[in-house]
Amino acid sequence: MKRYVILAAWTVLAGAGIPLIGILNGAMARSIGNPFAATTALFAVAMVAALSITLPLHGYPGAAQFASAPAASWAAGLLISFYALSATVIIPRFGAASFVAYILIAQLLTSAIVDHFGLFAMERRPLDLTKLVGLAAIAGGITIMEIGNLLNASSK
């Protein structure tokens, strides 16, 4: 139970940062005039932060360890760069709440499929009625929120 609470709290903190990535990096992009350069700066800061934690705690993996990683795992870097660039460009134009709402729908559907089928060497966690009802409730709430945003946008 304690481990669950710690992981849940950590996840909430990480989730709170998701909209801030696009908001803060959008400000950087406006300041320097280029969302690609702003996203590059974001990853440079992230690399320094990751290395400052990784090196003292775990050392640096060797070439053999990197070579043993599944080829598909390298796509994570492409995905996070696409996400960060998308957040940087879209949030200032679309709003943080709408961006995160659509991201959340995509994340829930993708993660439910990955869990259900045990894709990418993940433990199989089949969908059941409780999970489906929860997913539907979240999707319904987001749909209602976005209908309101769409109506407000079309009246301007």
| pTM, rounded to two decimals | 0.81
Residue whose entry in the numeric block shows the structure tokens 């996840």: 11
Please state, in angstroms and rounded to a whole number, the distance separating the CA atoms of residues 145 and 97.
9
What tokens does 136 get? 């539907």
pLDDT range class, residue 150, cuts 50, 70, 90: confident
Whether 156 shows a pLDDT value over 80: the answer reads no
pLDDT of residue 149: 80
Whether 6 shows a pLDDT value over 80: the answer reads yes
pLDDT of residue 130: 96
Whether 140 shows a pLDDT value over 90: the answer reads yes
Whether 24 shows a pLDDT value over 90: the answer reads yes
| Sequence-ordered list of residues with C-beta below 8 angstroms from that of 87, at least 6 positions apart, any chain | 18, 19, 21, 22, 25, 26, 99
Residues 91 and 139: beta-carbon distance below 8 Å: no
pLDDT range class, residue 152, cuts 50, 70, 90: confident
